[in-house]
Amino acid sequence: MSDYSGKTNINVQEIKIIPITDEDEGTYDTTNAVDLTGRAKSVSFTPNVKKAQLYGDGEVQETVIDTTTGTLTLALNYLTDADRQKLFGETAEKGSNVVTGDEQPVPCVVIFKTLCTKDGKIVNLYKFFTVTFSPNEEAIQQIEDNITYSTVQITGEYRVNKHNRSVRATRRHVDTSVSANTTIIESWFTTPEYVGPTQ
């Protein structure tokens, strides 16, 4: 029997979203990051696969596949008013969030990690360099026979970042007990374009 311990994802944690202030220049608003630690329920991403095939003599001579865009969906316990202002462009007015229809969602970097072991010793790190989120359906139910929590799901379109020309980065099977990896994990979450130490 194969040992899959430490090789598959069993939990998602510490979603962090950093607004992009100027994508061409590669500047980011790290002081206004949306920290969703403790609120993650699930994460899923699906690439938009574009394929072209060149035929010759009745056979495929060449195949080109493009997966530079896709959708990223975050299921969360809740979003605050401040989160909605940063992600969707909602306006704070007299203690309320106002939606006028002119809102422009802010492109962001999305960072999170998954656990590969129950004790969190082995983790996978993920980073999407440019994601634009849109509000999704929210359903609120009354209490009947059972209590049902109302949660939030947001979906974003991801694509190539104009500055670093990358779509996403993944660092798998990171051993958190190794001291050098502590710095890598910290930099992964605090520096938007960081993908690893200089070697």
CB 53 within 8 A of CB 38: no
User: Is residue 120's pLDDT more than 80?
Assistant: yes
pLDDT: which is higher, 10 or 78: 78
| Distance (Å, whole) CA 156 – CA 151 | 17
User: Is residue 178's pLDDT more than 50?
Assistant: yes
Tokens 């694509």, residue?
159
Phi, psi at 184, each rounded to 5°: -60, -45
7: confidence class by pLDDT, cuts 50, 70, 90: low
Residue 28 β-bridge partners = 20
| Distance (Å, whole) CA 93 – CA 146 | 36
User: Is residue 37's pLDDT more than 80?
Assistant: yes
Q: What is the pLDDT of residue 1?
A: 38
Q: What is the pLDDT of residue 199?
A: 53
Q: What is the pLDDT of residue 6?
A: 57
User: Is residue 138's pLDDT more than 70?
Assistant: no
Q: What is the pLDDT of residue 5?
A: 55
181: confidence class by pLDDT, cuts 50, 70, 90: very high
| Distance (Å, whole) CA 34 – CA 112 | 12
Q: Which of 189, 120, 119, 154 is nearest to 45 (CA)?
A: 154
CB 156 within 8 A of CB 134: yes
Q: Across residues 120-131, what is the average pLDDT?
A: 93
Q: Across residues 49-73, what is the average pLDDT?
A: 78
Residue 27 β-bridge partners = 22
